[in-house]
């Protein structure tokens, strides 16, 4: 596998932030499980807000990586999947292929990269491995128009 030179800065940034993201993600997981046993509304809403912020930060990492990768001339599904998997893993996500937040972020990246028409449909199909539910999540992100 050949890594594109312009991806090096992104790979370095992701590598440097993996430790911080993992420990923060672990903290967040323990906070979430702890809040489910508490009946206090304020504790639950602050955990929910933290969780929402964590999700948005994670999605931004996926969007940045995906946008950079999708701007390359040749798309290699396996190499792309490995990169997404590393980011997901660093954020405590073990099955990104079925993770709604990940797929939505990929859809957002496709939109941000101005990929349209048949090229968009091809990417969506390849990334989702032709799974209808996955393609629906990617489409949802594409239509969000956040970026």
Average pLDDT over residues 81-108: 96
**What is the pTM (predicted TM-score) of this model?**
0.67
* 99 compared with 8, residue with greater pLDDT: 99
Helices (H), the chain: 8-36, 41-70, 77-90, 100-112, 117-127, 132-144
**Quick one: average pLDDT of 13-18?**
45
Report whether pLDDT(21) > 70. Answer: no
Examine the pLDDT at 2 and tell me if it is beyond 70: no
The pLDDT of residue 85: 97
With beta carbons less than 8 A apart as the criterion, state whether 80 and 69 touch. yes
Comparing CA positions, the residue from 54, 141, 48 lying closest to residue 103 is: 141
CA 66 vs CA 57, 82, 84, 101, 112: distances in Å: 14, 11, 8, 14, 10
Res. 43: pLDDT tops 50: no
pLDDT higher than threshold 60 for residue 29? no
pLDDT value at 110 more than 50: yes
Q: Is residue 125 scored above 80 in pLDDT?
A: yes
Query: pLDDT digit string (tens) for 46-66?
Result: 455 667 888 999 999 999 999
């Amino acid at each position: 596998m050949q890594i594109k030179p312009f991806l090096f800065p992104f790979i370095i940034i992701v590598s440097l932030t993996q430790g911080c993201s993992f420990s923060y993600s672990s903290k967040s997981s323990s906070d979430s499980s702890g809040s489910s046993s508490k009946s206090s509304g304020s504790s639950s809403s602050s955990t929910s807000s933290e969780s929402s912020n964590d999700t948005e930060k994670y999605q931004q990492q996926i969007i940045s990586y995906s946008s950079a990768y999708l701007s390359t001339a040749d798309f290699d599904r396996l190499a792309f999947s490995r990169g997404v998997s590393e980011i997901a893993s660093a954020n405590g996500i073990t099955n990104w292929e079925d993770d709604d937040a990940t797929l939505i972020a990929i859809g957002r990246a496709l939109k941000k990269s101005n990929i349209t028409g048949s090229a968009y449909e091809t990417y969506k199909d390849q990334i989702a491995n032709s799974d209808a539910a996955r393609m629906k999540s990617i489409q949802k992100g594409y239509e969000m128009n956040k970026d």
